[in-house]
Amino acid sequence: MSDLLSVNTLTGLIKSFADQADNRAATDLFRKHGRPLLPLGDSVSWEELKYGRHLAPVSGPESPHTRARRLGVAKRSSAMATIKVYKDLPASYLFLSRAPGQSAQDAEMLLTVELEDMANLIANTKEYLATGALVGKVVVNPQAIPGSDLTFEVDFGNHATKAQKSWADPGTAIRSDELPHLKKLYKDEAGHSAEIVLGSTGIESYLVKNPDVRELIKESLGAQVLQNLPINGVSPAFERVASMRWRFVDGVYRPEGGAVTSYFPNDTLVVLPGEGKLPQVLGYAEGRVHVPGGGPFAKPEAALDMIKELRGYYAYAELRTDPLGVRVFAGWTGLFVVLCPSAVMNFKVTP
Domains of the chain: 1-51+72-120 (no CATH), 159-280+342-351 (3.30.1930.10)
**Residue 1 confidence (pLDDT):** 59
- DSSP assignment, residue 96? H
SS3 assignment, position 275: helix
Residues of the chain with pLDDT under 50: 222-233
B/e letters for 224-258, b = 16+ CB within 10 Å, e = fewer, are: eeeeeeeeeeeebbbbbbbebbbbbbebbbeeeee
**Residue 262 confidence (pLDDT):** 86
Axis-axis angle for helices 107-134, 25-33 (nearest 10): 80
119, 17 in Cβ contact below 8 A? Answer: yes
C-alpha to C-alpha distance for 164 and 155, rounded to whole angstroms: 26
SS3 assignment, position 237: helix
CA within 13 Å, CB half, 262: 11
Parallel/antiparallel/unpaired status of strands 313-321 and 72-79: unpaired
C-alpha to C-alpha distance for 295 and 308, rounded to whole angstroms: 11
241, 171 in Cβ contact below 8 A? Answer: no
**Residue 221 confidence (pLDDT):** 56
179, 243 in Cβ contact below 8 A? Answer: no
Alpha helices in 35-106 (DSSP H): 91-96
**Residue 225 confidence (pLDDT):** 39
What pTM was estimated for this model as a whole?
0.87
Ramachandran sector of residue 228 (left: φ over 0; alpha: ψ -120 to 50; beta: rest): left
49, 297 in Cβ contact below 8 A? Answer: no
**Residue 230 confidence (pLDDT):** 41
